[in-house]
Homo-oligomer: A and B are copies of this chain.
Amino acid sequence: MDPNREPFAERLTRAVQERRSAVCVGLDPRPDRIEPLFPPDVEPAASAAVFCKGIVEAISDIVPAVKPNIAFFEALGVPGIAAYAEVCAHAQQAGLLVIGDVKRGDIGSTAEAYATGLLGPKGARDTLAHHDAVTISPYLGSDGVEPFLTRAAAYHQGIFVLVRTSNPSSAELQGLRVEGDETLADAVAGLVHQWGEPYIGDSGLSPVGAVVGATHPQELSNLRKRMPNAPFLVPGYGAQGGGAQDVVAAFRADGTGALVNASRSVLYAFEKTGTTDFGGAARQAAQEMSREITAALETTS
């Protein structure tokens, strides 16, 4: 069966259930941290590709998804972008859902160009469309999101809209009070719900997800209420400070509907082992994180 026949949210739910894990591993190849693993003459883009593909192979049977962040590849120039495409294709072939963390956003006709490049069929060689979903910035409003949504819906892919990010200054704008008693993040959540509503599938989830940081546990439950049908992508676990109890509120009552992302705490787990077995260390860290989250969900259910 072609998994692309099933809508994104259903594929996500199934993958989480099959792996018994809601963990998404962020693929952020930081040159200074992977450098010790490679001989000095290896090109940085080649190191990034080998490292990320090694992580993929180590975790593909125990987690449902990976989230390569294109920033770390773009930093390596054109060869870095080729490595990004290679890593995404490799992860999809390994059976993982690939969430391209690209945070794109532009006016309608330009958003259409982005959507064409980042979502859709995988026909072309060297395409950047080896994604099951991508992250999107909401600042330009509906007409900047609509082209991504149309294309995602047509190809059974998804989008995750930035709602409340995990970084320290995220409240600066996202926490501003707007009309009524809402914050800007609440207003974006309202749009996310509205954008997704026409596309809600059998699982009760839409292809329009939300990025909500684990570093704001008090807001996660409020935002879950405002977006009952949105898949949540929750960054900020581990290195950024969020823990298992903090992310429980991102899940729906039945324990579905959220992916919790960790990048540094999984990718660079080898640094604490004193070995170069980065894959083994990442696998162990991802398993541990999956167990922590499952345990936290069971305690509260």
Q: Which A residues contact B (CB, under 8 angstroms)?
A: 28, 30, 69, 71-72, 74-82, 85, 101, 103-108, 110-111, 113-114, 116-118, 124-129, 137-144, 162, 165-174, 176-179, 184, 187-188, 191, 235
Contact = CB atoms under 8 A, between A and B. Distances in A.
Contacts of A166: 107
A117 B76 contact: yes
B178 A104 contact: no
Contacts of A71: 104, 106, 110-111, 113-114, 117
Nearest to A79: B126
A144 B187 CA distance: 21
A69 B117 CA distance: 13
Given A116-B75, A184-B176, A28 B110 contact: yes
The complex is assembled from copies of this chain, and their number is 2
Contacts of A28: 110, 113
A165 B106 CA distance: 9
Given A137-B137, A167-B143, A169-B140, A184 B191 contact: no
7 contacts: A75-B114, A75-B116, A101-B106, A107-B166, A139-B165, A140-B170, A178-B184
Select the residue from A28, A76, A187 with max chain B CB neighbours within 10 A. A76
A70 to B, nearest CB: 9
